[in-house]
Amino acid sequence: MTVEEGVALARLTTIGTGGRARAFARPESTDELEELLGWASERGLETRVVGLGSNLLAADAGVEALVIRLAGALASVVVRDGILSAGGGATNAVCLHRARAAGLGGLEFACAIPGTAGGGVWMNAGAYGSDWAAILARALVVTAEGSGWLDAAELGLSYRHSELGAGRIVAQVEYRLEPRPVDEIRDRVAELIALRKSTQPTTKRTFGSVFKNPDGQMGAGKLIELCGLKDHRVGGAVISPMHANFIENAGGATSADCLALMAEARRRVREEHGIELEHEVVLLGDLRLPDA
């Protein structure tokens, strides 16, 4: 296993911005992953997993961390005895394909989430009325000290949140799915994909949703839209004219451009609606939104 230095994060993230990572590696087994985490701990480096690179905004100055993308056995998918087991780096698209082929339902909502099984657990990702907490049986979490299986309650899953943090990596996921006709799964996925394409900028470079939807309030995108911020631009970044809870890289954007748009949207929503938006996107490196 090779540890690379100075890998450009703009190549690893869906928004296409960010500086370089101090170190980057692709472990293919839990043994390699534990070894990597120990290597990082010895050097005082944080560890971050990038998955497919969605839901991430990395600092333009780079990230002083070991950045990991799971590969090999840690990105494989197996269905056995009605249980779908996926490596933390397995894509949601592959997991859904294997579940559908096996006649196992429950993962259909994940067609709207361009990420990985481990990333889904890490942030309790969700869409269209479901989330990882609803389908997760257990997850294998690896640290520099070892590994262990945890269920949804032990992971502290809540709305777009888990108790996992840097240095605790989801290496394996087992899903709790239910038998369902293949045609029914296929039709539901087609319906959700069509809905997503009609409401979200799926052909643009984005990192996904910017802010979490506030409890008991209208969605973050609608609140931002009511502030008149659709199509608002800073540098090469623009608040999507299609859905205001997305920021598009319209060409040459920097992470600083994106952060400036986030700060402006949060400030305007606070001033005009009295609601404090919380960012859903994970900020890597020296990136902070102002408190006021």
Q: Does residue 115 contact residue 127 with C-beta atoms inside 8 Å?
A: no
Concerning whether 46 is annotated as a catalytic residue, the answer is no
Q: Which of 22, 160, 168, 266 is catalytic?
A: 160
- Give me the catalytic one of 54, 209, 240, 255: 209
Annotated catalytic residue 280: yes
Beta carbons within 8 Å of 200's beta carbon, 6+ residues apart? 242, 243, 246
* Integer Cα distance of 41 and 36 in angstroms: 9
What's the burial of 6, exposed, middle or buried (CB within 10 Å: 0-12/13-18/19+)? exposed
Q: Are 172 and 212 in contact (CB under 8 A)?
A: no
43 is catalytic: no
**Strand, helix or coil at 18?**
coil
Mapping DSSP onto H, E and C, the string for 145-161 reads CEEEEECHHHHCCECCE
Say if residues 51 and 13 touch (Cβ distance below 8 Å).
no
The catalytic residue positions are: 160, 209, 280
